[in-house]
Each structure stands twice: as C-alpha cells, then as structure tokens.
Amino acid sequence: TKEYLRTRGRVEVTGNPLREEVMAWEGRKEEACALLGLSKSKKTLLVAGGSRGSSFLNRVFLEALDFLPREMIQVVHITGAEDFAPIAEYAKKQPFPYRVFPFLDSMGMAYAAADVAFCRAGANTVTELFFFGIPSILVPYREATENHQWYNAQWLVKQGLAVVFSEEELQAPLLAREFLRLLNRPSGFPESESHRMQFRNSAVCIAREVLDLPGEEGC
C-alpha cells in the first residue's frame, strides 16, 4: 500500500486490527474442540468461504474428501446460506465429526480448533489465519477488486503459512494432497508472541495515530 500512496508524508504501518473476541480464543484448542463436539485425537479441517460462503470451495472440498483418510480427520465447514442444507444432510452420513454452519459468529473458536484451513483470502481472514498460525490452502476470489485477494494470499505465503491456487487449477486430488502434506509437515511456525504482537495492539495504535497522541513502544 505504501508503494502506491502518493503522499510524501509519514506512513505508519500498524497491522490489521483484529476483534478482541477472536484473539481471546488463542491457545484454547481443547475447549474449542469440546464446544464444537470434535475429537481431541483427530485433525480438524476448517473450510470457510467468507461471509457469504463459496460454492466452489464447498464443491471441491466435498470431492476431495473421497481422497482423504477419514479415520484421521474431522471437519468444521462454514458453507454460507445457499449450500447449507444439502451439505448438512451430507455431513450427517459421514463416519467422522462433521460440523456444518451457514455462518459462524465465533470464528475465533473455529480457528482455535483448526489444524489446516481451506479459505478465500480476504484481509481479515488472512490476518486471522496468521494470528492463529494455521497452515492454509487459499483460493483467492477472482472477482475481487483489482485481484486484491491474490496479493493478500501472497503475503501469507511469504510467512510460510499458505499455498495458493486459482479456481482453474485446483482439482479435488490436488486439494487432498495439499491437506495431507500440511497435516503431516513439521510445525514451521514459531510458537511465540512475536508473530501476534503486531496485531494485538493494532486498534489502539490506529486510534493513537488519529488522535496524534504520543506513541508507545511497539506501535
């Protein structure tokens, strides 16, 4: 963004502010799994297509399930309103925990439970995935203005947390292979506060800059 701004004034980078109720779920995996009715011994796949859901993500994920070892996985699937009913019926027939929601207010709980995520690449989604350190398979929404979701996704790739595919190239067997690769890889993301701190105080830093108050260390 700084590269495209025409101003010659100072530009302060604060990070995208996250909701307190989302950040509050950090480190609460066991509690999140219990509330969602998930097993502690299985790997949790999170599927979320944004606020309205994504029929493409829903379809290719269901196809990919045929290539995944069902004894080791469980699913939290946020479908959007349009696809909710048929996927909820499908989920009832599966031999593993499969939780389906048209929309989920408590996204922090879903992130806390997740081992791998399959998502679009909106700014909030990418920031939240980074905050929770979730390995992710991202499919940017191709109709997004100036392809901004692709750029969002590339930022998460640089952090070592994501792979990115277009809708045209992503087929079910490839998606299944990526799920398995990410589930089986050693954790490459540091379990430390450093990657979270830049977002923890973002809202405060933005307010301070707007009000032109003296900043504190880290803002």
Percent of the chain's residues with pLDDT above 70: 83
Q: What pLDDT is attached to residue 74?
A: 99
**Overall domain count for the chain:** 1
pTM recorded for the entire structure:
0.86
Residues 6+ apart with CB under 8 A from 142: 166, 167
Mean pLDDT of 161-178: 97
Q: Do the domain assignments include residue 83?
A: yes
Kindly tell me if the per-residue pLDDT of 6 is higher than 90. no
* 202 or 153, higher pLDDT: 153
Residue pair 163/137 in contact (Cβ under 8 Å)? The answer is: yes
Q: Which long-range contacts link 122-128 to residues 24+ away (Cβ below 8 Å)?
A: 122/50, 122/149, 122/152, 123/16, 123/148, 123/152, 124/16, 124/18, 125/48, 125/50, 126/152, 126/153, 126/155, 126/156, 127/15, 127/16, 127/18, 127/199, 128/18, 128/22
Q: Do the domain assignments include residue 15?
A: no
The tens digit of pLDDT for each residue in 92-132 reads: 999 999 999 999 999 999 999 999 999 999 999 999 999 99
Mean pLDDT computed over every residue of the chain:
88
Q: Among 7-11, 123-127, 212-216, where is mean pLDDT lowest?
A: 212-216
Residues 6+ apart with CB under 8 A from 86: none
Kindly tell me if the per-residue pLDDT of 218 is higher than 60. no
Q: What pLDDT is attached to residue 142?
A: 86
Q: Do the domain assignments include residue 39?
A: yes
DSSP designation for 193: S
**Count of H-run helices and E-run strands, the chain:** 10, 6
| Residue-range definition of the domain harbouring residue 35 | 20-184+191-211
* 211 or 170, higher pLDDT: 170
Best-predicted range by mean pLDDT among 14-23, 48-57, 69-78, 137-146?
69-78
Q: Do the domain assignments include residue 7?
A: no
CATH code for the domain in which residue 115 is found: 3.40.50.2000
In angstroms, the CA 86 to CA 106 distance is: 23
Q: Do the domain assignments include residue 88?
A: yes
Q: Do the domain assignments include residue 66?
A: yes
- Band (143; pLDDT cuts 50, 70, 90): confident
Q: Among 45-49, 174-178, 204-208, where is mean pLDDT lowest?
A: 204-208
